[in-house]
Amino acid sequence: MKYAREVIELMAAYPGRDFKMAELVRAASPTIPDARTRGAVRQGVLRVVTALIENGSVLRRPTRPGVRTQALYRWRNATRAR
């Protein structure tokens, strides 16, 4: 996965912090020239985050119930009991 290293490094450095998708996209690619490229980067970051959620490394918390597009993502702390 193309942006896995950037996303994992950012989220693992701050395990208790919630991240919006826009913050993860900016961390993965700080200079994005146009909207089409931003969408491609966002899709790549979403794939990484989805894989990390399935793996149990990241928690997804919707900001409003029933709204799919708004969520916060948090790196799961390794010292906590699952």
- What is the 3-state secondary structure of the chain? CCCHHHHHHHHHHCCCCEECHHHHHHHHCCCCCCHHHHHHHHHHHHHHHHHHHHHCCEEEEECCCCCCCCEEEEECCCCCCC
Tell me the per-residue pLDDT of 54-78, one tens digit each, with 9 for 90 and over: 999 999 998 877 766 789 999 997 6
Distance of alpha carbon 8 from the chain centroid = 8
Tell me the per-residue pLDDT of 14-35, one tens digit each, with 9 for 90 and over: 998 999 999 999 999 999 889 8
pLDDT greater at residue 1 or residue 47? 47
Sorted by where each starts, the structural domains of the chain and their CATH numbers stand as: 4-75 (1.10.10)
Quote the pTM value: 0.85
